Amino acid sequence: MKLPVIKHLTQFIVDNDEDYLVETIETLEALTEVSSLKDEELDVIGELISNMYGALEVNKMTKEGMPQKEALNSFMKRVLGSIDK
């Protein structure tokens, strides 16, 4: 996951609508079922999906009143904390 990408996608949600990201995630998840995709291609799709889910989570926290910077940091701490376990 890349924080600048999540931040950019979060702004995209604010400017547009989170439904765009949800539909894009669904499309990318459907693409992962293509049997001819290489591992590297699946990795890229997985990274994009992860960043989009991250942006949705950060957007949810900001809707609940958390400042964006704090929401981004909180989300990344949770991600890093789950990796360390």
Res 84: pLDDT? 60
Q: Which two tokens stand for residue 62?
A: 């900001």
Cα distances from 75 to residues 12, 44, 66, 79, in angstroms, run 18, 21, 11, 6
pLDDT by position in tens, the chain (length 85): 889 999 999 999 999 999 999 999 999 999 999 999 999 999 999 999 999 999 999 999 999 999 999 999 999 888 877 776 5
Tell me the C-alpha distance between 25 and 47, whole Å: 11
- Spatial contact of 49 and 25, defined as CB atoms under 8 Å apart: yes
Res 85: pLDDT? 57
Res 80: pLDDT? 78
